[in-house]
Structure formats: C-alpha cells, structure tokens
C-alpha cells in the first residue's frame, strides 16, 4: 500500500539495505509495497509462500522479493534472498508511515505530573495522562488517551498506541509496542470466599515486560498477587489475550489471539500457543513447545514438541453420535479390560 508522504527508495538502495541480489534497474524508484497480485509499477511485491507461485507470471510490480530458486520465472526485476519473508519484514518497516517522523512533544491537553521524568524526544499525545513518579525513556511515544500509572517505567523507544493503559508500578522494557485497548497491570483475579460472599485480595505485585515485547489490542496482563507477572524479551502477544497474575513467559515466545493463561503458570522460551489455547493454572510448559489452536492444556508439559487437544469440526449429525460414544468410553474400556483378563486366564 502506498500512503501520502510515503518515502521513496531506489531498487539499488533497497537491495543494499536487505543484502539482497538485485537483478534489474538499480535506479528504479519505489514508493511502496503491495501483494504479488496487486502491486503496480512503482511498488515491490514479495513471494514467500509457494501457494502464490501461480500469481508470479502475471506480476506487474517494479520488482519481486523472492527466493533465488524462483528467480528465473519472475517476469520483472527481482530482489533475491534466501529468506524473503524476513526481507519483507525489513521492507515493511522502511515504508511504515509511523516510522522516522519527528516527535510532537507534549500536547497541551496531556496531563503530566511534575514528578514524572521524561527522556529526550518523548511524545505525549492529546488527553494522555502521566502520573506521579513515572519514568519515560528516550524516544518514547504515548498515544492519545493513554494512561501511565504512578511509578511505572517505560523503556527507551517504546510506544503506546491510543488508549492503552499501563497501571501503577509496571516496568516496560525498551522498544515495546502496546496497542490500543490493552491493559498492563490490572488487578489479578484474586478473591477469598467465606461461604456466603467473596472478599477481594489486594494484588500487591507488578508486571515486568522485557525488551521488544508487543502486546495486541484489548489484551490484558494482570499484576501479580505478591510477586510480579513477568513477560520475557521478544515475546509477541496477539489481540484479546488474557494473562493472569504471576504468569511467567520465556523469551521469544508467541501467543496468538484469544489465548488464556491462568494464574502462576510458567511458559518456557521459544514456545508458540495457537489461537484460543487455554492453559490451566500452576502449570509448567518447558522450552520449545507448540500448542495448536483451541487446545486445552491441563497438565504440565516437560518435553518439547507439538501438542493438540479437542476435535475438528464435522457435520452435526456425526458429532452427536461421537458425543454419545465419548460418554460410553469408560464403560467400553472396563469391558475390554475384563475380556483381556478372561483371555489371559
């Protein structure tokens, strides 16, 4: 997509930035990126999935970013890389309209407590609130309507999009991105029951986010009951994810939309949780685990690998039959055990 005031690069400049092999006119001007099917003569497209090879012969892009093995069938100029998807990620940042602009400073409608410490080149948008004792590192951007609670720390280069909330006593690392509607450091779900009613347990811990963490829109990361909820470096969290109090997530893990993690569960490094995955509380998930979408995990996982639960969709009539059989499994297992014992005897 090409936007107003988009930066302009030559193909030669893009090849140099990517470390790619350019086949074509190095002086060709590029104003944006688009899909292989829709890219025009001043845009770059990319091919990272073999499913889209069928679209390559008809490409009208100024150039296509692709793997060298597909270069000979490309009808336009090309940028060859062994990992074109990684190259696409780098190109997307070059053409990001939010990148590289001058900070706008503190808006006149923002409320910044006099005790807050603001680093160099900080931007605080309209109607944002920065409470007492807050520290904002260099190059931090606080979007319109966002709130940073008392005594919180936002690391250098981090960005809060509009209407993000960081509650009191939260530490956010460097280069973090918090999208609109997310809440970092809200109270964990802690209550004691006396037999008739619930009594709130004050949540006295905090939240620590590592460097390069991204949290999607409307996701919640609850503060710890006593210790902290800890999210490691380079963790990527999609939209509408719920992370309960005292959860720990290891470096470089990724959580897709609608994941729910109950309290005090520990997720290792380099783990991936598919959309809608649920983890029960007080579990330990070791490093290198992948859980496929809509799975429910009720026991700790101690060996790396891919794990799944549940059944795929099927016609309702078949599902109803299977549901009945599922209720009969225990009885069938007992009958089978008796038969095997009789045969062995």
C-beta of residue 176 within 8 angstroms of C-beta of residue 211 = yes
Helix residue ranges, H only, 28-185: 84-94
Q: Which helix (H) or strand (E) holds 335?
A: helix 316-344
CA–CA dist 162, 78 (Å, integer): 38
- CB distance 182 to 191 below 8 Å: no
End-to-end CA distance of the chain: 74
Q: Annotated catalytic sites, by residue?
A: 245
Longest dimension (CA), the chain: 88
With beta carbons less than 8 A apart as the criterion, state whether 174 and 157 touch.
Answer: yes
Task: Give 172-235 as a DSSP string.
Answer: E-TT-EE-TT-EEEEPP--EEE-SSSEEEPP----EEE-TT-EE-TT-EEEPPSSS-EEE-TT-
Which residues does residue 221 pair with via DSSP β-bridges, in sequence order? 184, 243
Number of neighbours of residue 256 by Cβ within 10 angstroms: 20
The answer to whether 40 and 57 are in contact (CB under 8 A) is no
Can you read off the two tokens belonging to residue 254? 């990724």
Within 8 A by CB and 6+ apart from 197, the residues are none
Task: Name the β-bridge partners of 63.
Answer: 44, 77
Q: Are strands 29-30 and 9-10 parallel, antiparallel or unpaired?
A: antiparallel
Which residues have C-beta within 8 Å of that of residue 148, sequence separation ≥ 6?
128, 129, 130, 131, 134, 136, 142, 154, 160, 166
Structure tokens at 150: 């008392």
């Amino acid at each position: 997509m090409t936007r107003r005031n988009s930066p302009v690069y030559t193909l030669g400049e893009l090849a140099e930035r990517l470390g790619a092999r350019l086949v074509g006119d190095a002086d060709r001007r590029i104003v944006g990126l688009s899909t292989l099917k829709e890219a025009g003569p001043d845009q770059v497209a990319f091919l990272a999935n073999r499913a889209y090879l069928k679209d390559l012969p008809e490409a009208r892009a100024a150039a296509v970013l692709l793997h060298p093995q597909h270069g000979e069938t490309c009808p336009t100029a090309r940028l060859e890389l062994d990992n074109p998807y990684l190259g696409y990620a780098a190109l997307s940042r070059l053409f990001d309209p939010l990148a590289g602009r001058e900070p706008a400073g503190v808006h006149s409608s923002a409320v910044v407590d006099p005790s807050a410490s603001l680093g160099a080149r900080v931007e605080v948008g309209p109607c944002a609130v920065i409470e007492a004792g807050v520290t904002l590192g260099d190059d931090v951007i606080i979007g319109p309507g966002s709130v940073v609670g008392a005594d919180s720390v936002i690391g250098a280069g981090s960005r809060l999009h509009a209407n993000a909330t960081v509650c009191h006593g939260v530490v956010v690392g460097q280069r973090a991105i918090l999208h609109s509607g997310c809440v970092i450091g809200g109270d964990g779900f802690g209550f004691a029951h006396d037999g008739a009613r619930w009594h709130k347990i004050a949540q006295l811990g905090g939240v620590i986010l590592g460097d390069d963490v991204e949290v999607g829109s409307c996701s919640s990361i609850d503060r710890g009951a006593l210790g902290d909820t800890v999210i490691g470096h380079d963790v990527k969290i999609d939209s509408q994810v719920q992370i309960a109090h005292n959860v720990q997530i290891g470096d470089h893990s990724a959580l897709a939309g609608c994941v729910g993690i109950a309290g005090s569960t520990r997720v290792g490094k380099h783990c991936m949780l598919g959309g809608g995955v649920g983890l029960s509380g007080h579990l330990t998930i070791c490093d290198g685990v992948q859980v496929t979408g809509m799975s429910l995990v009720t026991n700790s996982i101690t060996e790396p690998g891919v794990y799944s639960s549940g059944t795929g969709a099927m016609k309702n009539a078949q599902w109803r039959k299977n549901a009945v059989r599922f209720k009969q499994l225990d009885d069938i297992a007992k009958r089978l055990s008796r038969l095997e014992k009789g045969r062995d005897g």
